[in-house]
Amino acid sequence: MSDNNSEAATGTSAGTASSAIVRHRFRETFSVQQGNGTDSNHSNAEGGARQNTSTQTEGPTFTMGDEHSLIRLGSTTPTMSLTIFTTLVTVVLVHNQDKSFYHIHKSALEKESGYFAAALGDFWSPERENVVILQGVKPAVFEHFFQWLYRHFGTEKDEGIYEIHDYDLSTDMCLDLYFLADMIGATNFMPCIMDVLYARRDDPALFNVNVFHEITTNLADSSMLYDFIVHWWVIYGNENSAREITRYAGVGATEAILQACLAHKGATDFSSFTGDRGACHYHEHDDQEHCPTGQD
C-alpha cells in the first residue's frame, strides 16, 4: 500500500491467538472491537508498504461495475470516476492460532458485505481504529474475496462480462468461498462462485455425499448452492449414493431431492432444470441481458 492509500494491503500471519474451534469449514463467530489494532501493521510485498494510520479521507476514485465474475488480481484497470474509498478497517483473521491482517476500505466492505455493513454501522467511531475479527477463516480463502472486492469495481458491463476467469479454483475452494460469502452476507460474491461450479455441472464426480451433507445441513434451502447441489444430485446420483443420502442427509434435503425428481422426471441434464426458470436461475439480470449461466 502506498502512503496515500491508493491500494489496500493484504496481511500476513503474525502473532498468536486463542485456538479457534473449526466447525463446518469456518462458520464461527466473529466480532468488532475498538482499539489500537495491535500488530496491525504487518503487510506483504504484494499488498504494498506498511500502513500506519487508521483513517483516510482521500483515496482513488473508481467506477463501480455490476458484473459478478471472479477476476484475477491485476486483470482489469478501474475507471477513475466516483470516489468510494474513505477510512480503513483492519480485518483480523484468526485461524489455527495464527493471525492475518487485512487493511480494507470501510466503504467497500459496507457495500459488498451485509455483516460488515451492520457491524461497522453499529460500532464505527471515526476517532478510533476499528478492528473486525473473523474466527476460523483461512487466509487463502479470504484472499479471493479480498481480490474480488477491489478488482470488480470499474468493470464495464459489456460482452464477455460473465466469462469465468478462475478455472483453476478447486471445487473445495469454491465451497469454502461460498460458505464465507454466506457467513458475511456477500450476496454479489455468491453468483461468482456459482459461475465456476456451474461450468463443471456435467462432472459426475463433482460432489460426494459428505459435501452434500455439509451443504444441506449448514445452508438455507433457499440458497443458490443448496439448490444447485440438489438438482445436480438428481441428475448424477446413483442407487448407492441415494442410499447414502437417506442415511446422512436431513429430512428437508431428502424431501427437496424427491420434489426435484418429480418436477423434472426423466431429466438427464441441467437444461431440464433451468430452462423453465428464465434465462438465468442463479443470477438476476435485465430481460435483455445475456448470461450463460442456466443455458447450454
Q: What pLDDT digit, counting tens, does each position of 231-242 carry? A: 787 777 655 455
233/121 same-domain check: no
Question: Looking at the predicted structure, is the pLDDT value of residue 139 above 60?
Answer: yes
Taking residues 56-66, what's their average pLDDT? 34
Decide if 21 is inside a domain.
Answer: yes
Where residue 128 falls among pLDDT bands split at 50, 70, 90? low
**Mean pLDDT value across residues 153-162:** 38
Q: Is residue 245 one of the residues assigned to a domain?
A: yes
Q: Do residue 138 and residue 35 come from a single domain?
A: yes
Assess whether 22 and 124 both reside in one domain: yes
In a domain, 73, yes or no: yes
Per-residue pLDDT at 4 exceeds 90: no
- Cell readout for 147 is 481480490
Place of cell 418429480: 262
> Rounded to whole angstroms, how far apart are CA atoms 104 and 86?
10
- 264: confidence class by pLDDT, cuts 50, 70, 90: low
Q: Is residue 263 part of a domain?
A: yes
209 domain residue, yes or no: yes
Please check whether residue 194 is in contact with residue 68, taking contact to mean a CB–CB distance below 8 angstroms.
no
Do 143 and 62 lie in one domain? The reply is yes
Same domain, 220 and 117: no
Q: Give residue 240's Cα distance to chain centre.
A: 32
Query: Which of the listed residues 116, 151, 186 is the one where a domain comes to its end?
Result: 151
Domain final residue pick, 151, 186, 213: 151
178-223 residue pLDDT tens: 999 999 999 888 988 888 888 888 888 888 888 888 888 888 878 8
- pLDDT reported for residue 79: 39
C-alpha cell recorded at residue 253: 434435503
On whether the CB atoms of residues 76 and 155 are closer than 8 A, the answer is yes
- Nearest 5°: phi and psi at 91? -100, 120
Range of the domain at 228: 201-277
Question: Is the per-residue pLDDT at 123 higher than 70?
Answer: no
Asked, for residue 161, whether it belongs to a domain, the answer is no
The answer to whether the CB of 176 falls within 8 A of the CB of 138 is yes
Q: Does 104 reside within a domain?
A: yes
Q: What is the largest CA-CA distance in the chain?
A: 63
- Count structural domains, the chain: 2
Confidence band, pLDDT 50/70/90 cuts, at residue 291? low
User: Does a structural domain hold residue 91?
Assistant: yes
Instruction: Give backbone dihedrals phi and psi of 14, rounded to 5 degrees, phi first.
Output: -160, 135
Question: What 3-state class would DSSP assign to 207?
Answer: coil
Tell me what pLDDT residue 235 has.
Answer: 73
Residues 138 and 18 occupy one common structural domain: yes
Same domain, 45 and 137: yes
Beta bridge partners of 103: 90
Query: In terms of pLDDT, which residue wins out, 20 or 149?
Result: 149
Are residues 39 and 145 located together in one domain of the fold? yes
Reported as a pLDDT band with limits 50, 70 and 90, residue 163 is very low
**249/122 same-domain check:** no
208 and 147, same domain (yes or no): no
Interval 73-117: pLDDT, tens: 333 444 333 444 568 889 999 999 899 999 998 888 988 999 999
* Residue 121: per-residue pLDDT: 77
Q: Which of 117-121, 238-242, 255-259, 292-296 has the highest mean pLDDT?
A: 117-121
Q: Element (H or E) spanning 183, and its range? A: helix 171-184
Lookup: cell for 248? 446422512
* 70 pLDDT above the threshold of 50: no
Q: Kindly give, in sequence order, each residue whose CB lies less than 8 Å from that of residue 177, ignoring residues fewer than 6 positions away.
A: 141, 144, 145, 169, 189, 193
